[in-house]
């Protein structure tokens, strides 16, 4: 029957799967150590699928993201945002939806450089990651809609300052 066939197929490819997994582990082994603290800002590579696309902090226009395994690299932040951002900027502007990227309140760059992404640290979750400073952010400020290290309030420190200044 079909079930027996499927089982037979599974049995025949099982050793193969093991071999492939061994190869991948072998390749990722030393890489895992290399990542170390960088795993918090290492993205899944959209070319090879591995968590090996490293965000380089404070790069003055030099490749913001590069994959350590396959060498896939992006020219600038905007290119990374286009690749990793949710939806397209065009649609966000036209349809008024979620922007594909947020400004970073900590870097105050005035550039949309924060994307929600999976990192090597959180392969199943989603982290707001600043591509400019290679750091995670706590959330989106209620007031200015920038990504910020939210502490107690739902506002970034800039907006809190402004609010306190009013009273
Ligand atoms: Zn890659
Ligand atoms: Zn930042
Ligand atoms: Zn704010």
125-145 pLDDT, tens per residue? Answer: 889 999 999 999 999 999 999
Q: What's the pLDDT at 22?
A: 58
135 CA from centroid of ligand 2 (Å) = 6
pLDDT in tens, 66-99: 999 999 999 888 889 888 876 555 565 566 666 6
Mean pLDDT over residues 111-132, rounded?
A: 90
Please, where are the H alpha helices in 85-167?
89-95, 157-166
Q: Where are the domains of the chain?
A: 2-166
**pLDDT average, residue stretch 25-32:** 56
- According to the model, what pLDDT value does residue 122 have? 87
pLDDT at res. 159 = 92
Ligand nearest to the CA of 31: 1
Alpha-carbon distance of 110 to 88, in angstroms, equals 19
Residue 40 CA to ligand 1 center (angstroms) comes to 17
- 127-130 vs 102-103, strand pairing mode: unpaired
How many residues can be counted in the chain? 167
């Amino acid at each position: 029957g079909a079930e027996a066939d499927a089982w037979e197929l599974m049995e025949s490819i099982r050793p193969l799967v093991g071999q492939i997994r061994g190869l991948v582990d072998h390749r990722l082994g030393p890489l895992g150590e290399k990542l170390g603290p960088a795993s918090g800002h290492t993205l899944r590579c959209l070319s090879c699928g591995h968590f090996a696309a490293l965000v380089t902090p404070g790069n003055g226009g030099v490749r913001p993201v590069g994959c350590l395994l396959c060498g896939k690299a992006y020219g600038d932040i905007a290119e990374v945002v286009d690749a990793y951002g949710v939806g397209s900027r065009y649609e966000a502007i036209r349809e008024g939806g979620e922007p594909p990227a947020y400004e970073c309140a900590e870097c105050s760059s005035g550039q949309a450089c924060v994307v929600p992404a999976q990192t090597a640290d959180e392969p199943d979750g989603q982290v707001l990651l600043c591509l400019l400073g290679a750091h995670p952010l706590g959330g989106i400020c209620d007031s200015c809609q920038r990504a910020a290290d939210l502490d107690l309030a739902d506002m970034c420190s800039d907006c809190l300052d402004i609010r306190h200044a009013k009273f």
